[in-house]
Chain A
Amino acid sequence: MVQTLIFLLNLVFLIIIYLEVPPLVKNKRWRELIAFAVFLWLGMVLSVPLVLGFDLPSPTKAIEAIFKPLANWLKPS
């Protein structure tokens, strides 16, 4: 099951790379290519652990921690 999912995920990434990278290389848009690679890498960092079943820390927790005093005021009594 996990192998299939990983395979599908890789397929998705390969399709994205196939769609986007050749025109960029052809037009020598290196800046765009670097930005594309960084964002795609971020996407991999976020999605691969989800497929493998690891628990990533949710950014929601950080935001909730910052705004906790205000949020408590808004809680319905």
Chain B
Amino acid sequence: MIYATLILFIPQNTVAHAKQDAWLSFLIAFAGGVLISLVVINLSLRFPGKTLFEYLPLILGRWPGKIIGFFYVWLFIHFCALVDREYCSTIVAAFMPETPLVVFLIHGTTMSAYITYCGLEVLARINQLFLPLNAGLLTILFALATPEMKVANILPVFDTGLLPLVKSTITPLSWFGEIITLAVIVPYLAEQKNVYRLTIKALFFVLVLIEIATVGVLLVFGPTLTSSYFFPVLSGTKMINIANFIERLEIIPIVIWITSGTVKGALFLWAAALGSSQLLGLKDYRPLILPLAVIVTSLSYLLHPSIIDLLNFLTQTFPFYALTFEFGIPFLLLIIVLIKGSGKK
């Protein structure tokens, strides 16, 4: 069972900081993502068969653990709302400006809720179905765009300096950090022994896909143009024109966005529902899914007045907010566990 989420908003912010070296910052972010996943998996393996929400009270004591747990439920709800909002906004902004945003949000969340209702296994199978499709489509897309590419666009390499590079790394790092969901998934994985290997494999796969997209877009547009587009991947696809015959392929990124967005939203919805049911000591998480889906739909509408606000939030505030929960708290938990010596081993 491989878990990987596709993240296809190439951050213009990353490119704005790192210019032509943006591909480098994804490499660094990948290293950070591996570090985060190592911390999270180590923590999970110390409490075999228990999710994040079950071992939080064990580590911190009953009430503080539950309070932090509810912060995580909020985080997953927020992630889910953000994911839904991201791809629905993209559809509205790029293709269907007349249709109200809510229509897409309701569709997306209903699909996610249905997948979640069927359980984690269905979620993983759907991902198995979509992932090769998405990866293949993305690769074909950028293979078709090669006539528009100029190598000069990513030269000179290593020209930006250290500080801009660090700044540009933080946003992708917070996305790789969404691997924190593993803290909820690990107890349900079939192969407990290979978790480390599988996770790093999955992260590497995500890295390869992101690099294909980033390098492709950079090669087509160059750093200045890329950072000024809202959806560089989409604009990159619009450039494809082979023999005046193969053109207007924008539907492909939209397919990728919708499928991966639905799966990702379903994953976070599942984590939120399972988390809240475990915190409240319920036997079944499924009754909570539909109410949570209503909350997610209205939240994702409520969170941001416009897509510009959304993008600014995602690239400027979101990294620190997310990394607090993705890296800060798990790291502290691991230190506490090591000092107290609780858990197995």
Measuring CB to CB, which residues of chain A are less than 8 angstroms from any residue of chain B? Answer: 12-13, 16, 19-20, 24, 29, 31-33, 35-36, 39-40, 42-44, 46-47, 50, 56, 58-60, 63-64, 66-68, 70-76
- Could you list some 21 contacts between A and B, CB below 8 A? A19-B290, A20-B290, A29-B282, A29-B287, A32-B277, A32-B288, A36-B288, A39-B295, A42-B295, A43-B298, A46-B302, A50-B298, A60-B303, A60-B317, A63-B317, A67-B317, A71-B316, A74-B13, A74-B171, A74-B315, A74-B316
B294 touches A74 (CB 8 A): no
The 7 closest A-B pairs by CB, nearest first: A43-B294, A39-B291, A46-B298, A76-B16, A47-B298, A40-B291, A71-B316
A residues less than 8 Å from B284 (CB atoms): 29, 32
Asked if B17 is an interface residue, CB under 8 A from chain A, the answer is: yes
B 265-300 binary contact with A (CB < 8 Å = 1; else 0) = 000000000001100111110011011101101110
Q: How far is the CB of B14 from chain A (nearest CB, A)?
A: 10
Measuring CB to CB, which residues of chain B are less than 8 angstroms from any residue of chain A? Answer: 13, 16-17, 78, 167, 170-171, 227, 276-277, 280-284, 287-288, 290-292, 294-295, 297-299, 301-305, 309, 313, 315-317, 319-321
**With A32-B284, A32-B287, A76-B13: A59-B303 Cβ-Cβ less than 8 Å:** yes
B281 touches A42 (CB 8 A): no
A35 touches B319 (CB 8 A): no
**With A31-B280, A59-B303: A64-B298 Cβ-Cβ less than 8 Å:** no
B residues less than 8 Å from A33 (CB atoms): 287
Cβ contact of A58, chosen from B292, B294, B302, B315, cutoff 8 A:
B302
A71 touches B317 (CB 8 A): yes
Residue of B nearest to A57 (CB): B302
